[in-house]
Amino acid sequence: MVVLTEFNKKPLLFQNPIALISTHNPIYLKGCFVEMERVLKEGYYLAGFLSYEAGYAFEEQLQDNREYDFPLVCMGVYAAPTSNPLQGVAPAELTRLHLNTSQDIYSSHISKIRNHIAAGNVYQITYCIKLLFDFCGSPYGLYRRLLREQSVPYPAYIETDAFQILSLSPEKFIHKRHGSIVTEPMKGTWPRAAAPLADLLERVRFGRDKKNRAENIMIADLLRNDLGRIGCRISAPRLCKITGYRTLYQMTSVVTARLRQDIPLLSLFSALFPSGSVTGAPKIRAMEIIRSLEQEERRIYTGAIGYICPNKDLFFDIPIRTLLI
């Protein structure tokens, strides 16, 4: 497995793993974390991903103990990364793009979500559908082309014998360093305008929009609660921060905490994964509703991609705007 992370424009390339730690069955997920702890103590790095469905295994009332088609966790064990990018960029083509649902089913699901909110079962649901396509050419070539089209802060590329993951993500999941952890939940999207003055006006409107601000603050509160389960000195130094991309604006908040440097990885991910920004609030009830409505497993989408250092510093994105080939 090859893993390339380019978070904050600092590429780290992980190649030629000495082992893979992976499972398709929730029963063995905790065992994978035990093995991850063992190899870190031996001085190795870990790089790879967790699928969204791994989140069910972290909550007792969500566990289903069935074999999944796609890995719930897949982490390569590496001696060390390099800062060299992958070589070779060939053309690629996507054709026959189509959704995995119909307008009638989509509308029915949105109606059910509104009913849940009206009944007080949840405050918010992050409902997802998929865009399917036919593909030919170079997955890495497509990744580089998409990254040139719209630069994002947390891109990553993963290649295995069975699949490739092209993550053009603007969202940070967790960055832990020397006992401090930062998460930046993203809620809120707004179109940009072509003319500079009109674009500035759209940014101001976005920053004042009650719906987007309410969603963003709601999820920041959820992340503060999740971090409070494992850390101390919880803080939200910045709420509703607006970042501009080529075609749109995004709203994020910054939530921080202090953790024990040696906190068990299982405790960390059990408390925080998946991010509330990709489920809704409250998280467990939102995940139950999502599982009842969405027609397919999310797999890598809205899971986590990243790496863990031997001292247990780590950095993961949330793979949104992500292709699985």
Catalytic residue among 6, 35, 171, 202: 171
Catalytic residue among 172, 176, 187, 283: 187
Q: Note if 187 is an active site residue.
A: yes
Torsions phi, psi of 118, nearest 5? -60, -35
Q: Note if 37 is an active site residue.
A: no
What residues act catalytically? 171, 187
